[in-house]
Amino acid sequence: MTRCFLRFVLFFASTAAFAAEPADWLLSARWVVPMDASRRIIENGAVAVKSGSIVAVGTRVELAKRFTPKQTFHRADAILMPGLINTHTHAAMSLFRGIADDMRLQDWLEKFIFPAEARNVTADFVRWGTRLAALEMVLGGTTTFTDMYYFEEVVAEAAKEAGLRGVLGQTIIGFPVPDAKTPADGLARTEAFLKRFANDPLIVPAVAPHALYTNSDETLRNCRALADRYKAPLLIHLSETKRENDDIGAKRGKSPTAVLDEIGVLDGRTLGAHGVWLDDADLAILKRRGTGIAHCPSSNMKLASGIAPVVKMLALGIPVGLGPDGPAGSNNDFSMFEEMDLAAKLAKVSTNDPQSVSAQKSLEMATIDGARALGMDTLIGSLEPGKHADLIFVRTNAAHAVPLYNAYSQLAYALKANDVSDVMVNGRWIVRARIPQTLNPSIVLAKAREYQQRILASLKP
């Protein structure tokens, strides 16, 4: 009888092991916040990863029975959640951090940034500036960033080196800039960029006309045509300042949004950055065209640009993501945790309604809604089977993180970028226990200080 029972136990154990599904990783934490349609929070949850993709999300007990992983990783004091999605920035401008602050946008651009860029921006500058930005972003839990700058192929190389996902737009602008003397040159560079990074596992190449006020209608139409030809997104600054709206209104008799719509720029996959001075008619156009918006609360506040009508956008179902903008005068860091906090609070104080943008909604803007704004919500933005394994662990054992009653509130209002402990992109670890796995901080920081001296010398009369 005993021998028969042992045979049965051994047979059952071997059958169960044979039936278990293989996985590369079984990741688990005290809480899993998937940001899926149910907006559930899974206590003692887990995520199974195979070949760079998520294959299952559930409780730790359930997934441990279902999978035989090659490796396991557990943080008992952490939240496991999707990586944060930055929908608007200028990464290489990290090397201009703090060069000129407390100014209005046009003065900042015309008196400081454009001259500084003309004297300093090269492919090497962009490479090291992007490395510096990437170092900060990965340590702060950003797994996808959306960029507009020059030498964007170099930004892409640096992003891939860091293991970051990027929606990267080659800037096209109506005056000579470091990588293109004319808009035609910019368009040619953009097409080469689109061809080079087509179907890349990490890089989505984009067309990025700077703004309506810095490009001709012809150039903007050419940008739209190029984006459509390569099925690429188009990124553009939109109604960032009152001056922009007033100048275009006086010249064209219409808002920037109405002009862009009239000339066909919004007729396709588009992301508009800022959208501070959008009126109801503009919002109706954006809703109709399916245009996404990158909300940049820190930048809009710091430059005194105004308060974007985010509550109205959300009510209309316009996809709204978050972005820190460039770290020079418009914002001095890349913290998406800061943007989440400010997005909720700025909406509350501007509407006198504490429920206007909740903690949960601000987290949605930093994850799944940001993915929607980019047209990538089937690939990233939540922890769901079939999506890329872009995820982060956020520690909850610091004084400012205890006690924890609601994970959404803690993430939006209490936790900080430096609470991120581990980061995975496409199934690859790029941060482990706050140690970058793909970048050497000492080398990156030393080079940034070297560039600081060069920039200071270039600005002397």
For the chain, which residues score pLDDT lower than 70?
Answer: 1-19, 329
SS3 29: strand
Residue 307: the pLDDT is 97
The span from the CA of 318 to the CA of 404, in Å, is: 32
CB 221 within 8 A of CB 236: no
What are the tokens at 337? Answer: 């945790």
Residue 7: the pLDDT is 52
Residue 16: the pLDDT is 45
Among 269, 246, 249, smallest CA distance to 259 is for: 249
Residue 11: the pLDDT is 42
* Fold classification of 20-82+389-426 (topology level): Urease, subunit C; domain 1 (2.30.40)
- According to CATH, what is the number of the domain 84-373? 3.20.20.140
DSSP structural state of residue 211: B
Among 290, 279, 288, smallest CA distance to 234 is for: 290
The CB-side HSE value for 328 (13 A sphere, CA atoms) comes to 23
The span from the CA of 119 to the CA of 110, in Å, is: 14
461's CB contacts (< 8 A; 6+ apart) are none
Residue 100: the pLDDT is 77
Sign of the Cα torsion 331, 332, 333, 339 reads negative
The span from the CA of 68 to the CA of 288, in Å, is: 47
Residue 346 amino acid letter: L
For 281-337, the pLDDT digits (tens) are: 999 999 999 999 999 999 999 999 999 999 999 999 999 999 999 887 678 999 999
Domain ranges of the chain: 20-82+389-426, 84-373
Residue 17: the pLDDT is 46
The span from the CA of 203 to the CA of 166, in Å, is: 5
User: Angle 345-346-350 (CA atoms, 0-180°, nearest 5)?
Assistant: 120
pTM: 0.94
Residue 12: the pLDDT is 41
Sign of the Cα torsion 100, 234, 273, 138 reads negative
CB 27 within 8 A of CB 391: yes
